[in-house]
Structure 1
Amino acid sequence: MAVQPTAEDEVVRLCQELIRIDTSNPGDHSGPGERGAAEYVAEKLAEVGLEPRVLESHPKRASVVVRVEGEEAGRDALLLHGHLDVVPAQKEDWTRDPFGGEIADGCVWGRGAVDMKDMDAMILAVVRQRLREGRRPKRDLVLAFTADEEAGGVWGAQWLVKEHPELFEGCTEAIGEVGGFSLTVPGDRRMYLIEAAEKGIAWMRLTAKGTAGHGSMVHPDNAVTALAEAVARLGRHEFPIRMTKTVRAFLERACQAYGVPFDPERPEKSLEQIGPLARMIGATLRNTLNPTRLDAGYKTNVIPQKATAEVDGRFLPGYEDEFFATVDELLGPDVERDFVYHDRALETDYEGALVQAMEDALTSEDPGALPVPYCLSGGTDAKAFARLGMRCFGFAPLRLPPDLDFSGMFHGVDERVPVDGLRFGVRVLDRFLDRA
């Protein structure tokens, strides 16, 4: 009788094979789409007796959803979700082929290695092993592998929630990205950051209008000038610190782990202890605005009638109104704004049985683990699933080496995930499902 592979045996290969399926998402429908990866995932789920549905929101843009029946009827269901798309990558910028899925220096390399085909592979590996062994979860699990997360989820999670909410019937809680990863602290211990909040998104298009004319003449009504001045005001503005409950909880526990006092009057000082991760955590102390695009005119000696810019704005839970009031004040009366994309902020209490299950699973595999809640500066598919009333957490567990710039892996070149981290992750997820 052939020996069945374990999740630890499978997870690395599954991650490699997913990376090799190019699902680059340029933000429109010009990319390869997620259909190939969706069919791959569906095949792996069908091999262990499940009946997954591949749902196409647009040609080539596909997601996969399946329900795993639990042992205890009547309990609320749990959603495990991961996205199949990745941001584009230019091969010439990378040390290794971004779609090669190579193993080198103890890591799996490639676009999506941490964002987030690693978690897709971990979910597949754990569920496959449990079903081969006849170990069903205590409560129903819904697995969702989504399209389009990297462009806001319009053709993925948002579409699923709007068009097929029945697939998530009974789901009251969810886990997905970005959380459960480790940060080494003094004493050879590790904090594991579990996402309990994330900032809202306001991608805005700014428009200034003026009078067209000849570039050689005196022209005070210049759309480019008006727009440039407004963009500069936005880009230079520093919002005040607004410490949410999740950020405060993280900083208090981080300071305790590093053996330094927490000063609530100067929370930024705490960030000096945590290295490269400070970029991501620092962005959760305040609202932010970053101009990203400018466009105007068609000829050097022609003053255009219109100029446009795009700005990436992010706001903290509870501070959306303050954010937009500030934006409008900075823009002034001569510049209009509309949305390229807009979605709310999220925050849930870091308490309850699901949180305990995550913490217990981590400490069972790493006795030195220090689980802590944190706020993500970006956004995830959790925003869509929260619309169905789910409490959402980021929990894609990885034990990482101290010198890996994990936050720099997201959308960066030479993205990679440690092989040992993947194997650790499936052990933690398996223990978590025993407790969830």
Structure 2
Amino acid sequence: MPVAESTRLLEEETLRFARALIRIDSVNTGDPATIGDGESRAIALIAGWLEEAGYTPLTEESAPGRANLVLRVTGADPTRGALVAHAHVDVVPADPTGWAHPPFAAEIADGYLYGRGALDMKNHAAALVAVARAWARDGIVPNRDIVFAFFSDEEAGGVYGARWVTEHRPEWLRGVTEAVSEVGGFSVPLGEKRGYLVATSEKGVGAATLTARGRAGHGSRPSHSNAVTRLARAVVAVGEHEFPIVSTSAMEEFALRASELLGVELTVETLEDHLDLLGIAGPLVAAGLRDTVSPTMLAAGSKTNVIPGEATAQLDTRILPGTEGDLERAVEAVVAASGPGVEIEWSRTITPLESPARGPLLDAIQEALLDDDPDGVVVPYLMPASTDNKHLRALGITGYGFVPLRTAGDFDAFGLFHAVDERIPLDALAFSVRVTERLLRRA
């Protein structure tokens, strides 16, 4: 098939598959009692597309309605470590209130594809399927083994998805040494060039419960040992606490690349003073410089005129590589200094992920970009959230975040994750699959 015709079909299938996947309500509430079979239906659709192209993918449910799929395409040099390109098929809830277009209708308007999952990340799932089908159609053999993987449950921690696969079907990922998936790849203007952020590190994730206890009683008789006010003081103290800037390999490399592109000498310690130069990347960079704690949930009392004897708050913690343990000790000290009667209990901690910020895969990403964007420059950064790469690490797989998107300078791709009117520019979706195909073929 002529190159132009093959590329046209690759782009058309990506859009068609993305729309079909968005129309499947695969919402992951985090509560098994309220999760339907959307993830399994999405995986079945993907399996059908791959089987139609002559492949035999491996699929299995980790729980009713929660399926996972992998497909291995043998490369020219199977002695090399394989690369897994993965996407998740679940999405976060979407209240249709405020949306310009229904979140599960996959409507196209004004050059955008709207819908929950348009960016996070049914767009990439569709692109991976289209790439695999193009290879089968055109007889393309990648340089090394490529494993296409599609997981459930990423939005609630990956327990029934990537983690289940690593624990129960590790043979599916046999020989894999590197992974590429979300979150990164979107372009940001940096000087005269476009920087394409590649997540070479991820923050760890933790949670804690603050419990304040005091004297219960009638609301008409105020008490200095009120559990609610004790909790409130602790929550404000924790929420307003600023952790120190910590230099990590990812942010050191970001500062170096940004300095070269902007013509301004930047270091990790001075990045925060120049966020205005980074455009839409500014908030991401700021969040990657420090450990952070965000109070997210409060609970106390059962009636207005009753002073409760106990009040609780939930904290979300994000931990930089190399600071494990430091955050916990700092928060405990802040809580203790806020006043008496408040205890803290730590739960689930996901260790930070740190991968080399330079190497052959990053070089391959740079080369794959140049065919479509001669002004594109790979810029490593530290992703302040967490992805399925954390689970693949258990098998010794080095993970990176790169889903290529060339967009206008004011289009905040990451800002639309989980947001109202999640959408992707149609030209960015076409760009994404072209670059992804080259990367996976050449890497």
> Normalising TM by the smaller chain, what interval?
over 0.9
Per the alignment, residue 295 of structure 1 pairs with 299
Q: Is the 8 A contact 1:19 1:113 kept in 2?
A: yes
Contact 1:197 1:376 in 2 (8 A): yes
Q: What TM-score does the superposition give when structure 2 sets the normalisation length?
A: 0.93
Q: 1:178 aligns with which of 169, 174, 183?
A: 183
1:326-365 paired onto structure 2 within 5 Å: 326-332=330-336, 334-339=341-346, 341-365=348-372
TM-score normalised by length of structure 1: 0.95
2:132 aligned with 1:127: yes
Letter in 2 for 1:14: F
Name 1:62's counterpart in structure 2. Answer: 67
The match for 1:48 is 53
Given the superposition, is the C-alpha separation of residues 134 and 321 from structure 1 closer, same or farther in structure 2, using an over 3 Å criterion?
same
Correspondence for 1:388 among 381, 384, 395:
395
Aligned equivalent of 1:13: 16
Are the equivalent residues in 2 in contact too, given 1:251–1:270 (CA < 8 A)?
no
Equivalent residues in 2 for 1:409-428, closer than 5 Å: 409-428=416-435
Asked whether 1:372 is paired with 2:379, we answer yes
Retained in 1: the 8 A contact 2:252–2:267? Answer: no
2:146 and 2:440 in contact (8 A); partners too:
no
Task: Indicate if the aligned counterparts of 2:131 and 2:433 stay in contact, CA closer than 8 A.
Answer: yes
- Contact preservation (8 Å) 1:45, 1:52: yes
RMSD: 1.9
Shift of 1:352: 2.2
Q: CA deviation at 1:238?
A: 0.7
1:268-307 alignment, distance < 5 Å: 268-307=272-311
Equivalent position amino acid for 2:403 in 1: A
* Matching residue of 1:232: 236
Identity %: 45
- Contact 2:251-2:268 within 8 A present in 1 as well: no
2:414 and 2:436 map into 1 onto residues whose CA distance is: 21
Match of 1:406 in 2: 413
Shift of 1:140: 1.8
Return the offset for 1:170: 0.8
Aligned residue for 1:6, secondary structure, equals helix
Q: In the TM superposition, what is the alpha-carbon distance from 1:306 to its structure 2 partner?
A: 2.2
Q: After the TM superposition, which residues 245-256 of structure 1 pair with which residues of structure 2 at under 5 Å, given as runs?
A: 245-256=249-260
CA-CA distance at 1:310 after TM superposition: 0.9
Q: What is the Cα deviation at residue 217 of structure 1?
A: 3.1
> Within 2, Cα distance between the matches of 1:359 and 1:148?
31
Question: Partner letter of residue 295 of structure 2?
Answer: P
1:294 to 1:281, Cα distance in 2 relative to 1, 3 A: same
Q: Whole-Å Cα distance in 2 between the matches of residues 53 and 335 of structure 1?
A: 50
Q: Does the 8 Å contact 2:201/2:381 carry over to 1?
A: yes
Q: How far 1:434 sits from its partner (Å)? A: 2.5
Change (3 A) 1:410 1:156: same
Q: How far off is 1:122 after superposition?
A: 1.0
- Where 1:98 maps in the other structure, the secondary structure is coil
| Counterpart amino acid of residue 71 in structure 1 | A
Deviates more, 1:256-265 or 1:45-54: 256-265
| Aligned with residue 319 of structure 2, among 292, 295, 315 | 315
Query: What is the distance in 1 between the residues matched to 2:423 and 2:226?
Result: 47
Q: How many angstroms does 1:417 deviate by?
A: 0.8
Deviation at 1:151, TM superposition (A): 1.3
Equivalent position SS for 2:325: helix
Given that 2:203 and 2:319 are in contact with CA atoms closer than 8 Å, whether structure 1 keeps it comes out as yes
CA contact (8 A) 1:184 1:191 kept: yes
* Shift, 1:421, TM fit: 1.0
Aligned amino acid, residue 282 of structure 2: A
**Structure 2 spans left out of the alignment, 5+ residues:** none
| Aligned residue type for 1:12 | L
Maintained 8 Å contact 2:141/2:441: no
Amino acid aligned to 2:11: E
Q: Distance in 1 between matches of 2:427 and 2:309?
A: 57
SS class of match (1:34): helix
Q: Deviations over 1:367-403 (max 9, x none)?
A: 1111110110111111111111111001111111222
Deviations 1:62-103, CA, capped at 9 Å, x for gaps? 222222222323322111111111111111211111111111
1:397 aligns with 404
Shift of residue 197 of structure 1? 0.5
Mapped contact 1:277–1:407 kept (Cα < 8 A): no
Confirm or deny: 8 A CA contact 2:154 2:162 kept in the other structure. yes
2:165 is the alignment partner of 1:156:
no
Are 2:164 and 1:144 equivalent residues in the alignment?
no
Report SS of the residue matched to 1:356.
helix
Kept in 2: contact 1:194–1:372 (CA 8 A): yes
Asked if the contact 1:77/1:171 (under 8 Å) is kept, the reply is yes
Distance in 1 (CA, whole Å) between partners of 2:345 and 2:166 is 24
Which piece of structure 1 moves more, 361-370 or 340-349?
340-349
Q: List aligned pairs for 1:103-122, cutoff 5 A.
A: 103-122=108-127
Q: Is the 8 A contact 2:214 2:341 kept in 1?
A: no
How big is each residue's C-alpha offset from its partner over 1:259-306, in whole Å with a ceiling of 9 and x where there is no partner? Answer: 223255422122111223211111001111111110011112223232
Letter in 2 for 1:135: I
Q: Report the 3-state secondary structure (helix = DSSP H, G, I; strand = E; otherwise coil) of the residue aligned with 1:92.
A: coil
Match of 1:208 in 2: 212
Provide the rounded CA distance (Å) in 1 between the counterparts of 2:375 and 2:78.
Answer: 36
Is 2:266 the partner of 1:259? no
The within-5 A match list for 1:51-90 is: 51-90=56-95
Moved more, 213-222 or 227-236: 213-222
Q: Which residue of 2 aligns with 1:243?
A: 247
